[in-house]
Structure 1
Amino acid sequence: MNVCFLMYPWEEIVPEHDSSLALIKECVKRGHGVAICSPSNLTIRDSVTNAFCTVIGRMEKIPSSAKSFYAKAKLRVEMLPLAGFDVIFFRANPPLDSIMLNFLDSVKDDVFIMNSLEGMREANNKLYTAAFGDAHSNIIPNTHVSKNKQYLIDRIKESKSDKMILKPLNGFGGSGVILIEKSAMNNINSLLDFYIHSGGSSNYVILQDYIEGADQGDVRILMLNGNPVGAMKRVPGQGDHRSNVSAGGSVQKHSMTKVEKALCKQIGPKLVKDGLYFVGIDVIGGKLVEVNVMSPGGITYINKVYKTKTKVEEKVVDFLESKVLDKLQAFDRRSRLRKTVQDA
């Protein structure tokens, strides 16, 4: 099969820790054609959606380490039609570019896209977790989202806890996530001004109940086709409440609890229904904190702490191959049936 990774530029990859590179390497290892392109490289030529792609040359011998693979990869740039690929694997960092999705709309019926465009539109920000919470569910922490500063201040004052989590709606990688306390209300007023009005626009802010034990870290679980395929504990760095590895956190081996397994079983069907086949969920104290659908990381870290024979990227590429095979078989079956009718 031929796979196009729609992601950040090749030059920005950090080989030792990059989940996208692990997936690319696994595809090349299996003999699949691989190209990458950034959202800014999308273009239309003669009414056909194309992209200026960085094509990765096939290798006779695949280096064992990601660092060697990255260094030895032979690259060339070509303009290629996106409908000619079997898979478009979305791995771009947030925020989601709506124009990019409009480009992809033209090929969504021809190519298997991971994750689906409809699912990406619905789930690309932190509001998606609210879809899993209702009056009968305690699956997510109590959450407020607003641009109204006074409303948010009132929610902080009425909270039974002295601590709450404040974060921007469209942040990623732990950026902008802060711990606030009622004892510092004078600072909260100016913080809300900054978050709501930064960038010269009016921004939504998320205010979330603090979950006891959050200072000990969170659990990142990678979900594939609605089922967990790997998990790790992320522990905050010294002097920081954030557990994101990109923010200085560290990784530990983690065995999923019964509560975490039940949570995955509960949310898995909706993820699949929304076409969100590969996502990363963040869990604290058995509660769903975030769903990461654009470029979930953690593959290399999970592989490292578990040291299992079957790597996460192998399971993901197995899934891609099965989806492409299903699509080809469906096309072949329809072609045979159409010929039967035509020849009647």
Structure 2
Amino acid sequence: MDILFVADSLESFKIYKDTTFAMMREAQRRGHRIIACEPRHLVWQRGGVVQAAVRRITLTGDAKAWFTETADTVAIKDFDAVVMRKDPPFDSEFFYATHLLEQAEREGAQVFNKPRALRDHPEKLAILEFPQFIGPTLVTRDADAVRAFHAEHRDIILKPLDGMGGMGIFRVKDDGLNLGSIIETLNKDGAQTIMVQKFLPAIKDGDKRVLVIGGKPVPYCLARIPQGGEVRGNLAAGGKGVAQPISASDRAIAEALGPILAARGLLLVGLDVIGDSLTEINVTSPTCFQEIADQTGFDVAAMFIDALEVAQSEASRTR
């Protein structure tokens, strides 16, 4: 297959841990051809189709000069599969890229994860559909509602809806210290909606990333454990990643959500679970493939390329 990866610039990759790189490496190992572009390279003009200036790459196995390339301009529909791997934030440009990719789908492209599904599942708000798996949660821009939630639960987490990597997350304990200023900072004096959740003490054991590929759970997760008094387990915030077998409750959540999300065109999903509670559904660019593989030997990238090959084949038959 010719596989186009729509991602951040290749020069920004940290290949020792990058999940998109792991996908590329496994794809090349199987004989698939790897092509890359950034969302900014997508172009459409009336009378034509969505195209992109792309880089046809070959992985070298070298840690520094890790690829060679040739330049090309190609219609998106001419690739066998398009893997959307642009990292968050889900900003306006990401939104516009999904529309261009959806136009490419109308022209015959096969895109994973589906652009419409990316738009329909904002990573923090997607959990609202599955209240049976989440802890006490409030979504609001009203300061009084946040104060009432704190009065009920006494120990809470506040976070912006567009944050990533643990950015903008605050904990307010029973004393309510700085609650007012934190609300003002996050909700911009009522102009911006935020999420508030009851603090889950199980965070001490890690914020678990449970990967779901083709509707099926990966048997190992990565528990991202807060360090040095931090409340955030995110690796970007200094959390320690410890791979471990998924628990019975992790599996129950993944098996309940997996087939639903896969049917909507979400080939790869990253569920964030603290204790037994689902906290986020990550769909834009879920990670942790290499950390899990390095610590357990389970080849997550191989499971993903297996699923991609099946999904591409099934989509081709129904076109």
TM-score bin, normalised by smaller chain: over 0.9
Task: Please name the residue that 1:175 is paired with.
Answer: 167
* Matching residue within 180, 184, 191 for 1:193: 184
Give yes or no for the alignment of 1:5 onto 2:5. yes
Is contact 1:232-1:251 (8 Å) kept? yes
Cα drift, residue 124 of structure 1: 2.5
Which TM-score applies when normalising by structure 1? Answer: 0.86
Q: Over residues 175-221 of structure 1, what are the superposed CA-to-partner deviations in whole Å (9 max), with x where a residue is unaligned?
A: 11221113134x111111111129xx932110001112213322111
Match of residue 242, structure 1, among 232, 244, 253? 232
- Quote the residue 1:145 is aligned against: 139
**CA distance 1:151–1:330, shift in 2 (3 Å):** closer
Q: Distance in 2 between matches of 1:213 and 1:49?
A: 47
Alpha-carbon distance in structure 2 between the residues aligned to 1:52 and 1:180:
48
CA distance in 2 between partners of 1:217 and 1:12 (Å): 27
Give 2:99's match in structure 1, choosing from 88, 99, 102.
102
Matches within 5 A, 1:1-344: 1-45=1-45, 46-57=47-58, 63=61, 68=62, 71-96=65-90, 97-109=94-106, 110-133=108-131, 137=132, 139-159=133-153, 162-185=154-177, 187-197=178-188, 202-229=191-218, 230-308=220-298, 311-330=299-318
CA shift digits 1:270-318 (9 cap, x unpaired): 212222120111111111111110000100000011024xx11011111
Is the CA contact (8 Å cut-off) linking 1:25 and 1:69 kept in structure 2? no
How far residue 128 of structure 1 moved from its aligned partner, in angstroms, is: 0.4
| Post-superposition CA distance 1:129-177 (Å, at most 9, x none) | 01011xxx2x101110111122212221222xx3111110011111112
Distance 1:321 1:105, change over 3 A: same
- Deviation, 1:49, is 0.7
Distance of 2:155 and 2:14 partners within structure 1: 35
Separation in 2, partners of 1:107, 1:252? 39
Work out the CA distance in 1 between the residues paired with 2:17 and 2:259.
Answer: 30
Deviation of 1:70 (Å): 5.8
Kept in 1: contact 2:210–2:250 (CA 8 A): no
Amino acid at match of 2:102: D
Compared CA separation, residues 330 and 148, structure 1 to 2 (3 A): closer
Q: Give the Å deviation of 1:264.
A: 1.4
Q: Would you say the 8 A contact 1:217–1:233 is kept in 2?
A: yes
Q: Which amino acid aligns with 2:159?
A: K
Question: Percent sequence identity over matched residues?
Answer: 26
Instruction: Give SS of 2:184's match.
Output: helix
Contact 1:5 1:35 survives alignment (8 Å): yes
Alpha-carbon separation, structure 1, partners of 2:246 and 2:280? 17
Offset at residue 77 of structure 1 (A): 2.8
Q: How many residues align?
A: 313
- Structure 1, unaligned runs of 5 or more: 332-344
Unaligned runs of 5+ in 2: none
